[in-house]
Chains A and B, each alone.
Chain A
Amino acid sequence: MRQLFASAWVIARRDYGATVFSRIFLLFLLTPVFPVIFGGVFASLGTGEDQAAPRAPLVAIATDAPSARMLVTAHDRLRARLGPDALPDLARQPAADGAGAGERLLAGHDRGYDAVLTGSLDRPHFLLAARGPASLADDVGLIVDTARADRALGAAAPPPIALGTARVAAAPEATARDRTGVAKAGQTGLFIILVMLAGMSLSTFIEEKSNKVIEVLAAAVPVDAIFLGKLASMLGIALTFVGVWSVAIAGGIIAFRPAIVMGLPVPAVGWPVFVALLIAYFVGNYLLLGAVFLGIGSQAGSPREVQVMALPVTMLQLVLYGFASAGVAHPDRWIAIAAAIFPWSSPLAMIARAAELPALWPHLLAMLWQLVWLVLALRVAAGMFRRAVLKSGGGWRWPWMRASR
């Protein structure tokens, strides 16, 4: 046992060093920056044209002059409270009298009115252009209502009240729905990181196979140790990546927008435990997937075969994610329990559970369960490698290998 771990350590140290202390790793580490930079560049390029595009609807006020004045006052008052985008813009026009005057205004003006209000406050008449949104009638109705109320109250109208703001420090008790949101977010975040990082372990054996070091390794240390070492180094690389970005993002949030954290609903197990479980399940899921991918990748004879396997393997992850997320809304339904029991979806299902239910013992159980399966997966992968690649033990081989030799 000691020899196993000592050998695995030698392999892991070499793999980790060769990956992390290389120039290409910096590129790998910076990869998530690129979408952000490109997003920023495209956004800044786009703003020039897009600024005018989503303008507020424009309504011509062609009522009699007193009504128009009161409407504009009411509009200003409402807008001061609701913000600039909530209500349509108003444009005062001379009172339109006579049949068809409103229609002519709608049709004629260069700028293009979306609606025209004629008549008076007592008898308003609203015309909506074909392209005008239907909700415009309600918006204009609110302005007319306010203007009429103001007129009725006159000087008795109470002045606008200034509400003092008292922020509550503690987040309110999270509702079940909020927690489902945290559960989904935790699950999705975990899944995205896993999709980005787990695929790497498919190709780790190609290096040793192409430069023939595998023969030296297999002669010196047990195959189990090679697999364990490779898996540990992959985990180390992934944790380095996640660690750097977690620190950067957490630092950024604390430095610039601490309010984001304050507003989040608290997961059922509490934040410290949730974060600890997030890390633990990331490790668990990464190792479980990594063991399988390592096993699959070790069977590949060439980089081409690895490339071909990349897609099915990603699909497999999607299926697991779908399975785990099916139970998020109801952590005690059979599908959620099944996802928690099936080892490869268990970490994703359990992190959702941590957001929703406070009990801690199922997590201990789940981690032990995942560990058992990790050991099994590694042994099977190493066994398959011994048999099919080193051709030890029985003569069993993959069908395509039989064909090609």
Chain B
Amino acid sequence: MTALAVEAHRLVKRFEGQRAVDGIDLAVAEGTIHGVLGPNGAGKTTTLRTLLGIIEPDEGWRTVLGDDRPMRAAPRIGYLPEERGLYPSMQAKEAIAFLGALRGMTLADGRRRALDLLEEAGLGEAATKTIRQLSKGMAQTVQLLGTIVHRPRLLVLDEPFSGLDAINQQRLEGLIRAQVAEGATVLFSTHVIAHAERLCERISVIARGRVRFDGTVAEARGRLPQRVQLVTRQADGAWRAALPADAAADGRRFTFALPAGGIEPVLEALIAGDAGIEALSIERPSLHEAFVDLVGEAVPQPDMGELAP
């Protein structure tokens, strides 16, 4: 068992009587990328804020980097809030150095590393520009660099991909992987499943303040039976009895969950009944389907800008 970077036990947070976080357990192993998935309003942000010590839980406890008071571990944590914010009149390198100073760096060190980071990110010429002069995407990058300037052991990112174009999303994924390669732990929330699917070793699916699933992406998909798509030449026949009762029929096209006994008995019946198989496929359910199933409600499709990798 590897050490845990973040551990939460039965966290409860009420807002005006409503339980925004309703007994959440979380365990994030050191050096991994852990995704917190959930629809809007599921309690993701509240969970992260509670873990960071911005708010105290009403019940339960959490340890972050081995400390039960997250504020004490603050110098080793980096946090990118969902609502980004920098002082508009600050220069980019000053903004990064300031964020580093908040986490215990000296301003001089912060400035030096800010210049390196900006150079690496291809924003070298923006170092002395004020945040106000930067584009929104550039300002977001600056804030992200400010989040990692002090080389945090734990990186907490709240919806880090929202508002980024495809290129910048790609860059961010690279940056997250680079941080983990250096030994950091990354915990991020998202409602866009594609990112979690690509990045995460483990995910926690949260809905209505509770953890609905905790495990690997493969396990999440494995929870759902595989789907069978079948197209026959004949529309009907005795072979229909071999199909599961809940098979959805659309003319000669049938969709159903893979039966517990496997596909072979169905195939035998189809061949014996001369149904004429035109197409047959067995598919693993996508994480999206698993997610919808876990959350128990239709998840609004993200717009294409966010879906595109």
Contacts and interface: CB of A to CB of B under 8 A. Distances in A.
Contacts of A219: 49, 52-54, 74, 77, 79, 81
Interface string B51-71: 011111010000000000001
Contact of A392 (B17, B56, B98, B101): B56
A20 interface: no
Contacts of A215: 54, 81, 83, 85
A212 B102 contact: no
A220 B101 CA distance: 10
Interface in B72-104: 72, 74, 77, 79, 81, 83-90, 98-99, 101-104
A215 B34 CA distance: 22
A233 to B, nearest CB: 13
Contacts of A397: 16
Interface in A188-221: 207-208, 211-221
Main secondary structure of the interface of A (DSSP, over half): helix
Interface stretch (A6-14, A92-100, A121-129, A136-144): A6-14
A391 interface: yes
A393 interface: yes
B171 interface: no
Interface of B is mostly: loop
B281 to A, nearest CB: 47
Contacts, number: 72
Contacts of A393: 55-56
Contacts of A218: 54
Nearest to B70: A219
Contact of A220 (B15, B16, B74, B86): B74
A125 B269 CA distance: 147
**By CB atoms of chain A within 10 A, which of B55, B71, B102 has the most?**
B102
A222 interface: yes
Interface in B5-19: 14-17
Contacts of B84: 212
A18 interface: yes
19 contacts: A3-B104, A10-B102, A211-B86, A211-B87, A212-B83, A214-B85, A215-B81, A215-B83, A216-B81, A216-B85, A216-B99, A216-B102, A218-B54, A219-B49, A219-B77, A219-B79, A220-B99, A391-B15, A392-B56
Interface of A: 3, 6-7, 10, 14, 18, 22, 207-208, 211-222, 386, 390-395, 397, 402
Given A212-B81, A216-B79, A395-B16, 14 more contacts: A10-B101, A18-B87, A208-B85, A211-B88, A215-B54, A216-B99, A219-B53, A221-B102, A390-B55, A391-B55, A392-B54, A394-B58, A395-B14, A397-B16
Interface of B: 14-17, 49, 52-56, 58, 71-72, 74, 77, 79, 81, 83-90, 98-99, 101-104
